[in-house]
Structure 1
Amino acid sequence: MTTIQNHHKRPKNLLSSLTLLAVSVIFTINIASAQTISANKDSLMNSPISLDTLHYKSLLKRLANGDATGKWPVVSAAYPLPGAILPFKRVVAYYGNMYSKNMGILGQYPPSVMLAKLKEEVRNWETADPNTPVVPALHYICVTAQADPGRNGLHNLRMPFKQIDSVLSMAKSINALVFLDIQVGFSTVEKELPLLEKYLSMPNVHFGIDPEFSMKEGSVPGKRIGTFDAQDINYVTGYLAGLVKKYNLPPKIFVIHRFTKRMVTNYQAIKLRSEIQIVMDMDGWGSPESKKNTYRNFMTQEPVQFTGFKLFYKNDIRNAPNRMLTPKEILALKPSPIYIQYQ
C-alpha cells in the first residue's frame, strides 16, 4: 500500500505572510443581526417540519452502496432532529484560508472566481448523482497551526472575526453553508471552540477539527501528525448539541479530518447525538489507489456515522501519472461519501 502523505507544508507564522494575498473584495455582515439569518433558515436548509424516518433509512442504505461488511449503514438509536442536511443532501466544500494561497482553493483566487469554480464543482456532482441534491459550502480554517509559538505560546493563530465575516458574506451570496475549522496546535478544543459561539449559533455555520495539528505530545506542528481522542470529539459534540438546543437550530455537521489510524483514537467510544451529524473526512493526498486504500482502512473499517472525501487540485496530481479521482469513482466507494471537500 502506498502511504498517503501529509498534505500540509510545515506551518509558518501566518502573521508574517499576510501580504501573500490581498483580498480583492471586502465583504461585510452584521453579526448582531442573527435574526435575519435565522429568518432565512428555511431557504438555506430546506428544513422539513419533521424528519421522514423511512426516507432517512432508505438514504442511509443507499449510501452504504452494497457494503457487505455489516458495518454500514451505521445504526443509531437516535434519529437526527428535523432540518438535518445529511444524507438528504451532499455537501461540496471549498477549503482554505483567506490569507494564504497555499492552504487551499478558498484563498487561492479572488472571491468571484473562487465561487464560480465552486458552483461548477457543484454542477459536476449533481450530474454524477442526480438523485442527491448538492449544497455548496465554504470550509474556512479560522484557527491555523503555527511553527512559531506566537504570543499565546500555543503554536496557533486565531483569524480576526472580520475574516470570518467575509466568508459568511461570500457564502450568503451563493446560499452556501460555512464550516469553521480549527487547528489547535498546543491548545485544546475546550479552549478554542467556545470562542466561536456567536458564529456557531447561526443555522448555516458548522464545524470541523484537524487532528493532524493537535499536538498533545508537544511536537511543533508539522513535525509529527497529531491526534484527537473520542473524549475530545465527544466534548465537541456535547458543546455543539448544547448550542442546537439553546438557539433552536437544525443539526450541526461536524467534520473530522483523518488519514492515519492514530489521528483518531478510540473511535468506538464516539457518541452519536440527534443534534450532530459526524463526518469522518478522508484527508490524505496521493495516487487514486493510495487514497482509496486509506479510505477503506480508516473510514470503512472504523465506522462512526457519515464519511467524507477530500480532493487536492495540486497535491493529488503532483507525482505523474497521478490524477484526481472523478465523482463517479468516489461515488463507487463503500460507503459513498456524503461530504466532498476540495483543497
Structure 2
Amino acid sequence: MIRRRVLALVAVASLLLGCGSSPSDDDGARGSTTTAATTTIGDDAGAGASTSAPTTTTEAPGPVAELPRGGTEIFPAFRVVAQYGNAQAPVMGVLGEVPPEQAAARVQAAADPFATPDRPVLPAFELIVTVAQGAPGPTGTYSTPTPMELVRPWLEAARAADMLLVLDLQPGTGDFLTDARRFEELLRQPDVGLALDPEWRMAPGQVPGQVVGGVDAAEVNEVSAWLAAIVAEERLPQKLFVIHRFTDQMVRDADQVEDRPGLATVFHVDGFGGRSVKLRKLDQLRGPYWTGFKLFLDEDTDLFQPAEVLALPDPPDLVTYQ
C-alpha cells in the first residue's frame, strides 16, 4: 500500500511543480461570478489569507447563504456522496480521470442510488489541494499546493451542478492550519468544505509514503476553531469538516476533538480491503459526531453496493469513492 502511494506522490509532485503559480502568489485573473447564495471569488484567492483566526461576536446572527440544494444544515438533512482525487493524477482517485464537468455527472450518478425518501443526497467533489510528496520541494514541507487556476474550474463545475467542493489537505511536515489558510478565500464560500488527511501529516524527519502520519486533537481543534469563526463571520450555512483516518494513531486523543457550531464534523473511516475488515474499522473508528465511509473502486474486495451501505446499522452520513 505504501509503495503504491509513493509512486503516486512522485507523479503528482512532478505535475504540480510544472503548473506555475501556487495559491499564495499569482492565482490567475479568472474570478467566478456566483449565485445569490455565494460571493464572488476575487483575482487573488488565497493570496491575502489572514494570519490569525477571524473574530466573531458573542451573539452571531444566523446564516444568510444556503447550501447548493437548499437549507442551511448538511446533516442530518442530506447524505453526502463524494468522489475523491487530485485534479491532475487519476492514480490518486477517481477525480482527475475526466474534466470537472464530466466528473460532476459521474458524482451525481454515483450519488443517486443513496437517495431515500427521508434523506436526499448532496453530491460533492473532494479535491486534494495540497499533495504530499517524497521530497521537500519548494515549500520544504514535503507537500505541494495545487495552483489556484487548477482549483477554480472544480468549484465552477460543482456550482453548476449544485454540489459541494471539499478541499483535502496533505501537509507533509507542515501543519493543517497553514495549509488551510492558503485557501481561505475559497473556504469563505458557502459551498466549500475542508478535509484533513492525517496519513500525510508527518512529524519532523519523517517522509510521506514511508510511514503513516498522524495528528493531535489539539491541531485539529485549532483548525476547526478557525473554520467555525469564518462560518460565523460570513454567516455561512453548515460547513463540512472531515477528518480522515484508518488507524487509531492517525488522530491522537480523538476523544478530545471538539464539535464546533457551524461545522458538520465527520470522522471518515478509510482503508481498503475485504468487507469484514472494513466493517470492523468502521465500528472501531467512527467518532461521536457524523460518520464517513470510504469505498475504493479498485482496491476493495467485493465492493459494497449503495443499497448494502444503506442497510448497515447506523449507515454513514458521508460516503466517498476513491
TM-score, normalised to structure 2, is 0.83
Question: In the superposition, relative to structure 1, how do residues 267 and 46 fare at CA in structure 2: closer, same or farther (>3 Å)?
Answer: same
SS class of match (2:90): coil
Distance 1:88 1:6 in 2: 37
Unaligned ranges ≥5, structure 1: 22-27, 48-82, 317-321
Contact map agreement 1:8 1:103 (CA 8 A) in 2: no
Higher relative contact order (CA 8 A, sep 6+): 1
Distance apart, 1:14 and its partner CA? 2.6
Give me the whole-angstrom Cα distance separating, in 2, the residues matched to 1:341 and 1:185. 22
1:317-339 residue CA offsets vs partner (Å, 9 max, x unmatched):
xxxxx221112222233331000
Q: Which moved more, 1:156-165 or 1:324-333?
A: 324-333
CA contact (8 A) 2:3 2:209 kept: no
Distance 1:288 1:245 in 2: 40
Q: Which residue of 1 aligns with 2:70?
A: 46
Q: Deviations over 1:77-97 (max 9, x none)?
A: xxxxxx111111001111111
Percentage identity across paired residues of the two chains: 31
Q: Deviations over 1:11-47 (max 9, x none)?
A: 21534246999xxxxxx96258686724994361412
- Secondary structure at the counterpart of residue 253 of structure 1: strand
- The letter of the residue matching 1:311 is L
Aligned-pair distance for 1:106? 0.9
The CA deviation at 1:313 is 1.2
| Counterpart secondary structure, 1:44 | coil
8 Å contact 1:13–1:148 — kept in the other structure?
no
State the partner residue of 1:341.
Answer: 320
Q: Which amino acid aligns with 1:30?
A: G
Task: Indicate the residue corresponding to 2:38 in structure 1.
Answer: 37
1:9 aligned partner: 5
2:110 corresponds to which letter in structure 1?
E
Contact 2:274 2:302 in 1 (8 A): yes
Secondary structure in 1 aligned to 2:10? Answer: coil
CA distance in 1 between counterparts of 2:312 and 2:171 reads 31
* Paired residues of 1:145 and 1:221 also in contact (CA < 8 A): yes
User: What secondary structure does 1:42 align onto?
Assistant: coil
1:307 maps to a residue whose letter is T
Amino acid in the other structure paired with 1:327: P
CA apart distance, 1:190: 2.7
TM-score (norm 1): 0.78
- Residue 124 of structure 2 aligns to a residue whose secondary structure is strand
**1:103-138 CA-partner distances (Å, limit 9, x unpaired):** 111101233432222121121112xx3321001111
Q: Gaps (5+ residues) in structure 2? A: 20-28, 41-63
Matches within 5 A, 1:261-272: 261-272=248-259
Selected match of 2:82 from 81, 93, 108: 93
Equivalence for 1:55 = none
Contact in 1 for aligned 2:2/2:210 (Cα 8 Å): no
Q: What SS class does the counterpart of residue 129 from structure 2 fall into? A: strand
Q: Does 1:314 align with 2:298?
A: yes
Q: Distance in 2 between matches of 1:174 and 1:279?
A: 23
* Stretches (4+) displaced over 4 A: 5-8, 18-21, 31-36
Cα 1:113–1:20 shift into 2, 3 Å:
farther
